Amino acid sequence: MKIFKHILLGLLFVSAGAFAQDTEEKEKPQGHTNTNKFKQLYDEFATPNMFRTGSGAPGPAYYQQQADYKMDIEIDDEKARLYGYETITYTNNSPDELTYLWVQLDQNMRARDSKTPLIRSNGIGPATTASRAATTYLKERFDGGFNIQEVSDVNKKALPHTINRTMMRVELPKALNTGDKFTFNIKWWYNINDHVKDGGRSGYEYFPENDNRIYVMAQFYPRMAVYNDVEGWQNSQFWGRDEFALPFGNFDVNITVPADHVLDGTGYLTNREEVFSKEMMKRYKEAKKSYDKPVVIVTQEEAEKTEKTKSKDKKTWKLSAQMVRDFGFATSRKFIYDMMAVKLDTKDVMAVSMYSKEGNPLWGDWSTKVVASTLKSYSRMTFDYPYHKAISAHAPMGMEYPMICYNFGRPNKDGTYSDRVKFGMMGVIIHEVGHNWFPMIINSDERQWTWMDEGLNTFVQYVAEQDFGEWFPDALSPGQTKYPSRRGPAKNIVRYMGGNQDFIAPIMTKGLNTYQFGSNAYAKPATGLNILRETVMGRDLFDYAFKEYANRWKFKHPTPEDFFRTMEDASAVDLDWFWRGWFYTTDYTDIGVKEVKKYAVTTTPTEEGKKLAERYKQFGIDPNSLVYFVGEDEEGYQEALDAGQLADVPTVKEFVMDNFTTDQQKEIKSPKYFYQVTFNKPGGLVMPLIVEYTYADGSKERETYPAQIWRLNDNEASRAIASQKEIVSITVDPDLETADVDTSNNTWPKEVKESDFNKFKNQIKD
């Protein structure tokens, strides 16, 4: 009847929309969208195919493009200008025919006509600093950007090309089929930016004291864009935030700089004997055998002497790198240079640092040791570092390239430094060296998915920081027993996740379009992985699966699904609920104890008990054979509690005698206290329910109910607890493992105190 009515109403609504609007909500035909939080991610995930399998591995038809570069680069130190000529050989391994190529012109972000400054919404505040006012309102924009002088084929014949801001389309004389190669040349120059004044991920820092510069160079050459099975050409413009998508290739790069510079970068230095002095060669050979501390190749004294004069001569440093996705180098006459050897499971590699006197003593004491420790930790969590060296170069920002990264952290003028500066430097070195794995080798698309490099890397950074604190206890400050990691522990993400929802975006958002970039793309994914490792999966299952992901996608291009799928495929843990909640929504964790009801066994049934007995009787069960419970708010509870335990009930006793073996009877526990504990979940996220029960004798018991306890009711879950001892308190998530944003409801009996979450919320309202 009811069904009929609904069908009838449904028909009416279809033909008369206006009528439907006037009807009460409950009269509308009801349908359910499947919003179950344990629903598999079939709608969100791309369908597995021959390129990428359902297990998260590269498929049988997986391919990737290759871009090989031969470059001649020269830096004019006087004008702070870079000149370059490159020959790119592009190999089409895709099954598709290509009629044009896309080349990335990242420097154009700094061109005078760049639109980057125009996408920022700004205004005039009541007060600002003089320097900001001057740079905003008085200064002419820096004249950056590539000046492309030639785009030509092997015969130097000009190739038609179109520059669309930071992307250049090069038209091919004839279509490039599978397996075909195309070789072409680009000639360019640009003004190098002062990245301290004008920002940027590369450029120079100027030291007016003796008119010197430290160059940390990157994005300095036109770079091939990625073409693949998921995006086609990844030619999304570079607005300055979302990083890079780059194919692998081999590089031969000759870099000409003033003869008194010390230079290092991506790749093998193939003319070391030419560019190193005899003394440097000797020290370099010692460094290759020094596993416990760095050997200084260029000392501070030598660097200080060099920076006082300027050589008019030039020197060319030749670097050659195989299977890298990018190229960076650092050069200056100010550089102090040190190195040590690092023993990994399968090979030795070199940890290297380049820094000026302004970085000492902090850099000389710690930089290279931090690099070495990081190489060991990351190798253990993924695979042995495949390159031969990792360089940490001193700069006022943190940024990563294959084999070389730029890191901040500078002591005061008198050489002293705070913990903040020290751990800031150590943290950034661990982080940027770690980027060698994510995304330099496990080569994800940074332009689209910031979290795939920053989040995964920040997670391993946390593991490596903890290792470092353990391996180098003298790096810690007095009173510290652990490295003070900022990102990773669940409790550190609470403030972000419990904050104003108007300014939180799901992790699965393009970096450019997210609020609170650091929390969104670094801290939250890293914390999520840490929760998976410590709380949901356990270290063994997590580490195996994580390593599997790293190895499957080593020197390849993974997508988010490849990661999500591999983590499940290698562990047999269904994590769709976790990915869905943590990565695709902005829900937060809030789980509490709603209510605890006590019961006792009784021989005198309550009124409700009698009613239920009647129903048992209909199924032929004798009411006298039932076990009855009485609640604490019902009459007879205290008498029942005083009277006895479950095993004393005659019918139970009889059942035990008839059905239990003698051995089983000896082991019988006899609960006296019965509790119905109801947990509630005001937060949208599902999480394992971790509960600590404390008994009257002071003993404690922990139980972790899997997240699936919420699968049929997203708001509440109850558990019946039978105990020989009285429970005096219950705590949810006692070790703060789940990022619960409001712990004021986590205990029974309720502790009367205002939670930090509520305090924070109230502050926001103010």
Q: Kindly calculate the radius of gyration of the chain based on its CA atoms and give it in whole angstroms.
A: 33
Distances (CA, A) of 590 to 184, 190, 685, 736: 58, 53, 8, 11
β-strand pairing of 249-258 with 66-76 = parallel
β-strand pairing of 747-748 with 66-76 = unpaired
- Tell me whether residue 297 or residue 428 sits nearer to Zn ion (CB atom): 428
Site for Zn ion in 461-490 (CB under 5 A): none
| CA angle, 522 then 523 then 528, to 5° | 110
Rounded to an integer, what distance in angstroms lies between the CA atom of residue 449 and that of residue 459? Answer: 16
Minimum CB separation from Zn ion for residue 457, in Å? 6
Number of residues that bind Zn ion (CB under 5 A): 1
Give the three-state DSSP class for 587: coil
Minimum CB separation from Zn ion for residue 218, in Å? 13
Angle between helices 419-434 and 450-471 (to 10 degrees): 120
Site for Zn ion in 5-34 (CB under 5 A): none
Minimum CB separation from Zn ion for residue 264, in Å? 21
Minimum CB separation from Zn ion for residue 191, in Å? 27
β-strand pairing of 404-407 with 389-394 = parallel
Tell me which residue of 664, 669, 661 sits closest to 645, measured CA to CA. 669
Site for Zn ion in 220-259 (CB under 5 A): none
Minimum CB separation from Zn ion for residue 104, in Å? 19
β-strand pairing of 673-680 with 181-191 = unpaired
Minimum CB separation from Zn ion for residue 450, in Å? 9
Which residue's structure tokens are 């990264």? 405
Minimum CB separation from Zn ion for residue 510, in Å? 16
- Per-residue DSSP letters for 14-29? HH-HHHHHHS-GGGSP
Which residue's structure tokens are 């570069």? 69
- Tell me whether residue 222 or residue 427 sits nearer to Zn ion (CB atom): 427
- Which phi-psi region, left, alpha or beta, contains residue 108 (left: φ > 0; alpha: ψ -120 to 50)? alpha
- Tell me whether residue 454 or residue 576 sits nearer to Zn ion (CB atom): 454
Minimum CB separation from Zn ion for residue 491, in Å? 22
- Tell me whether residue 243 or residue 568 sits nearer to Zn ion (CB atom): 243
Minimum CB separation from Zn ion for residue 107, in Å? 21
- Tell me whether residue 397 or residue 686 sits nearer to Zn ion (CB atom): 397
Q: Exposure of 507 by Cβ count < 10 A (0-12 exposed, 13-18 middle, 19+ buried)?
A: buried
Question: Which are the contacts of 55, defined by CB distance < 8 A and separation ≥ 6?
Answer: 565, 566, 569
β-strand pairing of 203-207 with 212-217 = antiparallel
- Tell me whether residue 105 or residue 430 sits nearer to Zn ion (CB atom): 430
One-letter amino acid identity for 696? A
Site for Zn ion in 447-466 (CB under 5 A): 454
Question: Which are the contacts of 200, defined by CB distance < 8 A and separation ≥ 6?
Answer: 110, 193
Minimal CB distance residue for Zn ion: 454
Minimum CB separation from Zn ion for residue 435, in Å? 6
Tokens of 105: 């012109």
- Tell me whether residue 398 or residue 560 sits nearer to Zn ion (CB atom): 398
- Tell me whether residue 455 or residue 499 sits nearer to Zn ion (CB atom): 455
Tokens of 32: 């359910």
- Tell me whether residue 454 or residue 561 sits nearer to Zn ion (CB atom): 454
Minimum CB separation from Zn ion for residue 325, in Å? 15
- Tell me whether residue 428 or residue 532 sits nearer to Zn ion (CB atom): 428
One-letter amino acid identity for 353? S
- Tell me whether residue 354 or residue 399 sits nearer to Zn ion (CB atom): 399
Distances (CA, A) of 616 to 607, 624, 659: 15, 11, 21
- Tell me whether residue 326 or residue 454 sits nearer to Zn ion (CB atom): 454
Tokens of 313: 């001569």
Minimum CB separation from Zn ion for residue 398, in Å? 7
- Per-residue DSSP letters for 603-617? SS--HHHHHHHHHHH
- Tell me whether residue 454 or residue 562 sits nearer to Zn ion (CB atom): 454
Minimum CB separation from Zn ion for residue 431, in Å? 5
Q: Where are the beta strands (DSSP E) in 289-346?
A: 295-298, 314-324, 329-332, 336-343
**Residue span binding Zn ion (CB under 5 A) among the ranges 340-348, 446-454, 594-602, 627-635:** 446-454
Residues linked to residue 592 through DSSP beta bridges, in sequence order? 680
Residues engaged in binding Zn ion (CB under 5 A): 454
